[in-house]
Amino acid sequence: MKKIEEFLRSLTFNIRRDRELDLNRRGFVASTLSLMGLLFLSSTPLVVLSKRAETPDLETFIANVGDLAVGDSVTFSYPKEHDPAMLIRIAENEYRAYNIKCTHLMCPVYWEKEEGHLVCPCHHGFFNVEDGSVIAGPPPRGLPTIQLAFKDNGIYAVGITQSQH
Ligand code: FES
């Protein structure tokens, strides 16, 4: 009678209890590896896109040399249409360009010619025109610097670097 009972139980539950834990462990490892692979693959395009946004290879015409008097500025967009930027002629042969979204809460920064610095009106953030670094106020870091190139008579934006200070 006991043998029949055991036989019926083995037919009903076709599972070997001693291997159940092994299968669970194997299943867990397989699903974890699958999940990690899926996460890696889904994040790869984002990494590539964000690197591209950091180092645009496009060249944008800003102005002609001589369009600005010393102390004057002009706004433009770089690297994309909705990225506000500003070119400032700080001396006869010196220009600076920055992304002008404040690094605190993204308010647009303006050039205060008389004082010789960039100002964020939202919470009184002040930036150094020489290198975009923070002089005072709540901004956590300086403005991203736009690299310039001079060709023929034109001034071009050719790259952007995040502030280190
Ligand atoms: S947004 Fe510029 S200082 Fe706050």
**Helix (H), strand (E), coil (C) string for 110-161:** EEECCCCEEEECCCCEEEECCCCCEEECCCCCCCCEEEEEEECCEEEEEEEE
In a shared domain, residues 95 and 114: yes
Three-state SS at 43: helix
122 in ligand 1 pocket by Cβ < 6 Å?
yes
Q: Does the pTM exceed 0.95?
A: no
Q: Which atom of ligand 1 is nearest to the CA of 107?
A: 1
Could you say which DSSP state residue 22 is in? H
Q: Residue 31 Cα, ligand 1 centroid: separation in angstroms?
A: 46
Could you say which DSSP state residue 108 is in? B
In a shared domain, residues 114 and 36: no
Total domains in the fold of the chain:
2
In a shared domain, residues 47 and 101: no
Task: Note down the domain range covering 97.
Answer: 60-161
In a shared domain, residues 14 and 79: no
What pLDDT was estimated at residue 116?
Answer: 95
In a shared domain, residues 14 and 34: yes
In a shared domain, residues 48 and 65: no
Q: Residue 51 Cα, ligand 1 centroid: separation in angstroms?
A: 26
Three-state SS at 44: helix
The CA-CA-CA angle for residues 45, 49, 51, to 5°, reads: 120
Q: What is the mean pLDDT of the chain?
A: 82
State mean pLDDT over 122-147. 98
Query: Half-sphere exposure of 73 toward its Cβ, with a 13 Å CA cutoff?
Result: 21
Distance, in Å, from the CA atom of 129 to the CA atom of 159, rounded to the nearest integer, reads: 18
In a shared domain, residues 26 and 79: no
The CA-CA-CA angle for residues 77, 89, 82, to 5°, reads: 10
Distance, in Å, from the CA atom of 123 to the CA atom of 134, rounded to the nearest integer, reads: 13
Q: Which residue has the higher pLDDT, 33 or 80?
A: 80
The yes-or-no verdict on residue 17 having pLDDT over 80 is no
Could you say which DSSP state residue 79 is in? S
What pLDDT was estimated at residue 22?
Answer: 55
Percent with pLDDT over 90 in the chain? 62
Last-in-domain residue among 35, 54, 73: 54
Q: Residue 33 Cα, ligand 1 centroid: separation in angstroms?
A: 44
Report pLDDT digits (tens) over 115-125. Answer: 999 999 999 99
In a shared domain, residues 87 and 156: yes
Which H/E stretch holds residue 47? Answer: helix 17-54
The yes-or-no verdict on residue 158 having pLDDT over 70 is yes
Report pLDDT digits (tens) over 89-120. Answer: 999 999 999 999 999 999 999 999 999 999 99
In a shared domain, residues 42 and 65: no
In a shared domain, residues 47 and 16: yes
